[in-house]
Structure 1
């Protein structure tokens, strides 16, 4: 028994020395700070080491330079543009917006893939599908659009911008007025539209002073038009005598000779803008009713007095 023990211990000591020497040599060949490298088969009960995975390389990005031009003139569009870039998934799902810009000539940095570039010029627009793979791309979209700039006037006198508004309709075969495109557009505003013919309705005041016109929008051009009204603004009064003080709290109704109500108002002297023509004025005050026929002449603003006679 004693002979067996004396034979085993020297071998164990030799194995420990050899192992320690190998480990020291391994550590000396590795760069400073590097993870330990495995050597030999793993020893049971001792954790093993593995190399760190290589970092993931980022995808190369591509710059897309965009611009837009008018279809007829091929002139570049230098203002009024709104750009959007959508991810093209190739299915019916709603595409995601990747980027947007209001710059006339934007540059978009995109990862390789498929996209939809969309540009809006007011109510006109254009779009294009692109495939981005490598290098820089230059994309130019063609927009068939022009613009309207509208004004109102009575004779030679322009109507203040805050007293006139415009509604723009797109004519349709089975609709006499057309499909409403814009409601309550302001005077002198640049209204960008797809090229075509539009039905424009101008309203002066808030009663029946209305004018209509068909206007053509040409690509790359601004169509300026003045719609001329035949109307006037009248101030309604109920007085005890001509030129006298108006009664407060009077209810007025303006009717056509046929009895159609054009405008109603309450006050001492409300104003109403009416188209040229003949009217009937009814005034109600403290349970009494007074009437008067009057005429509106285009461009002649005046007071309409109703006498509160017994």
Structure 2
């Protein structure tokens, strides 16, 4: 650009023919200079590099040391940390701009573990003021559902509650008039529940439920109930910890308990094996006969404790494996029958009223 300006200045007072000649001469000189420069560069590029010295095979070969990171030695990441996501709040109007100048803006994201990706769905954010209201409770300031969240808050101290299923975290933050972004690490995982019999038959379509409790007992000797009436196939998101799980098959005594550990960022598939069967009771005059209506029933344990009671012609129960005694009361008379429950063998149990049947049964037992 400097050469062009100089030529323009010179052509202002020199004759036109002389000006053209000077321009041509300068162009020729420039072309020659560029050619010489390019030739020199080409010669330099074609010059072969100096060969490296051959290694001495008699000397021990050493490889550069590489530091190996032990995952167990890594510093724990704080559960509430600054994010590396650039963030600028968007204001849609002039009134919003003036209002935003007096407020702080915070952008929130959450992930399961320090190595996992941010969560983009299923999160519930709640912002509480640290000051309490007239009822002595924390005042809910703002909420958001989905993935990441953006809040504009007056300067002050707040509690940020993050929930992902039953996994949750609460963090304290001081808001000024600046713009900030934070990442919440939930340190959470999940459990997928299933139930089965000992022979492997799934109980997914049966009346099975799961209750999830914490491991600690309160002053009344009870565990803290976290999730109740969870159905087979469901996934429950929980903070990484060990939980006490109670599985019920039916509504009587088919109950299995287990302690299950939840690992951060992992889905634990837990299958509970039940030892039980579905039993239907019938009071009949003879084997294979019609069930007698208006019958009151009691099922007793071998120790004589009442397990369950019912009224009707066909009471149906899921009972844990073991021995029981059925007590049927009808028309002022009481009939007894001892039976056994075998895991996975659903069946009808008949209580016979005929004297001949009772006598033959006593003879066979003796």
So what's the TM-score if we normalise by structure 2?
0.63
Which secondary structure does the structure 2 equivalent of 1:269 belong to? coil
- Structure 1: how far apart are the matches of 2:132 and 2:283? 71
- Structure 2: how far apart are the matches of 1:177 and 1:89? 32
Are positions 1:78 and 2:115 aligned together? Answer: no
Cα separation, partners in 2 of 1:96 and 1:114, compared to 1, 3 Å: same
User: 2:192 corresponds to which residue?
Assistant: 149
Match of 2:106 among 43, 58, 64: 64
Q: Is the 8 A contact 1:284 1:290 kept in 2?
A: yes
Deviation at 1:116, TM superposition (A): 2.5
List gaps (5 residues or longer) in structure 2. Answer: 1-97, 356-366
Are positions 1:263 and 2:308 aligned together? Answer: yes
- Structure 1: how far apart are the matches of 2:257 and 2:137? 40
Cα separation, partners in 2 of 1:288 and 1:247, compared to 1, 3 Å: same
Cα separation, partners in 2 of 1:250 and 1:90, compared to 1, 3 Å: closer
- Structure 2: how far apart are the matches of 1:280 and 1:167? 30
Deviation at 1:132, TM superposition (A): 3.1
Are positions 1:105 and 2:145 aligned together? Answer: no
CA deviation string 1:240-263 (max 9, x = no partner): 111111011111111112211111
User: 2:80 corresponds to which residue?
Assistant: none
User: 2:165 corresponds to which residue?
Assistant: 122
CA deviation string 1:102-129 (max 9, x = no partner): 1211112334443322212233322233
- Structure 2: how far apart are the matches of 1:90 and 1:63? 22
Match of 1:202 among 232, 236, 247: 247
- Structure 2: how far apart are the matches of 1:123 and 1:306? 48
Cα separation, partners in 2 of 1:139 and 1:270, compared to 1, 3 Å: same
User: 1:213 corresponds to which residue?
Assistant: 258
Structure 1 window deviating more from structure 2 (218-227 vs 129-138): it is: 129-138
Moved over 6 A (4+): 173-177
Deviation at 1:167, TM superposition (A): 2.0
More helix by share: 2
Cα separation, partners in 2 of 1:98 and 1:237, compared to 1, 3 Å: same
So what's the TM-score if we normalise by structure 1?
0.74
User: 2:228 corresponds to which residue?
Assistant: 183
- Structure 1: how far apart are the matches of 2:132 and 2:340? 66
Q: Is the 8 A contact 1:276 1:298 kept in 2?
A: yes
Cα separation, partners in 2 of 1:249 and 1:177, compared to 1, 3 Å: same
Are positions 1:169 and 2:190 aligned together? Answer: no
More strand by share: 1
Are positions 1:231 and 2:270 aligned together? Answer: no
- Structure 2: how far apart are the matches of 1:153 and 1:59? 58
Deviation at 1:237, TM superposition (A): 0.2
Q: Is the 8 A contact 2:276 2:344 kept in 1?
A: yes
- Computed over aligned residues only, the root mean square deviation of the Cα atoms, in angstroms, reads 2.5
Q: Is the 8 A contact 1:162 1:186 kept in 2?
A: no
Which secondary structure does the structure 2 equivalent of 1:102 belong to? strand
Are positions 1:275 and 2:320 aligned together? Answer: yes
Cα separation, partners in 2 of 1:173 and 1:160, compared to 1, 3 Å: closer
Are positions 1:287 and 2:313 aligned together? Answer: no
CA deviation string 1:283-302 (max 9, x = no partner): 11111111111111111111
CA deviation string 1:70-90 (max 9, x = no partner): 235443233332101123449
List gaps (5 residues or longer) in structure 1. Answer: 1-56
Q: Is the 8 A contact 1:127 1:141 kept in 2?
A: no
Cα separation, partners in 2 of 1:260 and 1:123, compared to 1, 3 Å: same
CA deviation string 1:93-150 (max 9, x = no partner): 6432221011211112334443322212233322233333345321111112222221
Q: Is the 8 A contact 1:72 1:219 kept in 2?
A: no
User: 2:81 corresponds to which residue?
Assistant: none
